[in-house]
Structure 1
Amino acid sequence: MQWEMAAQGFAAMGSEARLKVLRTLIRAGHAGLTVGEIQDRTGIAPSTLAHHLKFLSGADLVDQEKSGRQVINRARFTQLEALAGFILNECCQDEDKKAANDG
């Protein structure tokens, strides 16, 4: 993952409301949720929710699929896993290097 994509993904999660929406979608799993279902579960006003979903979708963290008159929103698990991998990629590298030098 490139630095720019990672920064965009983390920025999209940079609000309490968007984190709440994203966690709600993660909890729902691969089936996803309609905007109304997300609203019911989060209590976020419809116009505000649409803004947050657009932001999350723009960062490739949420997929939106039109199904009849409704839009199904799904967390993009592969992208979320890539972000987690990006931030944790170098975990404890300095400790491991120091241990090798001390040993």
Structure 2
Amino acid sequence: MDAIEAAQGFSAMGSDSRLEVLQTLVRAGETGLRVGDIQQRTGITASTLAHHLKFLSAANLIVQRKQGRVIMSTANFDHLSALAGFILENCCIDAGETT
């Protein structure tokens, strides 16, 4: 993962509402949730939720798939793990240095 891709992912999480949606989907696990279920759990209005889901999807933080008439949203666990790895890959590397 490069810095630009990481910045896009972290930026997409920069809204409390989007972060709430993402955490709701993480809690739901691999099966994901229908849009109506996300709305019910978060209390976000339908039009606003649609905007947040589009933003999260564009940043590759969630995956949306159609199952018949229903759109299921799932957290993109691989991408979220890559983001965590990106931010932590150099953890503590300079801990022993003094200035």
Structure 1 and Structure 2 fold alike (TM over 0.5):
yes
Structure 1 residues 27-38: aligned runs within 5 Å: 27-38=27-38
Name the CA distance, whole Å, in 2 between partners of 1:8 and 1:95. Answer: 28
Name the CA distance, whole Å, in 2 between partners of 1:95 and 1:75. Answer: 33
- 2:61 is the counterpart of 1:78: no
Deviation at 1:69, TM superposition (A): 1.0
TM-score (norm 2): 0.96
Partner SS for 1:94: coil
Name the CA distance, whole Å, in 2 between partners of 1:88 and 1:2. Answer: 13
Partner SS for 2:95: helix
How many residue pairs are counted as aligned between the two chains? 98
Name the CA distance, whole Å, in 2 between partners of 1:71 and 1:4. Answer: 29
Q: Deviations over 1:4-43 (max 9, x none)?
A: 1000000100100000000000000000000000001000
Name the CA distance, whole Å, in 1 between partners of 2:66 and 2:46. Answer: 17
- 2:89 is the counterpart of 1:89: yes
Q: Which residue of 2 aligns with 1:13?
A: 13
Which has the larger share of helix?
Answer: 1
Partner SS for 1:7: helix
Name the CA distance, whole Å, in 1 between partners of 2:89 and 2:26. Answer: 22
TM-score (norm 1): 0.92
Partner SS for 1:81: helix
Q: Structure 1: state its 5+ residue gaps.
A: none
Q: Structure 2: state its 5+ residue gaps.
A: none
Name the CA distance, whole Å, in 2 between partners of 1:67 and 1:17. Answer: 25
- 2:43 is the counterpart of 1:43: yes
Name the CA distance, whole Å, in 2 between partners of 1:68 and 1:43. Answer: 25
Q: CA RMSD in A?
A: 1.0
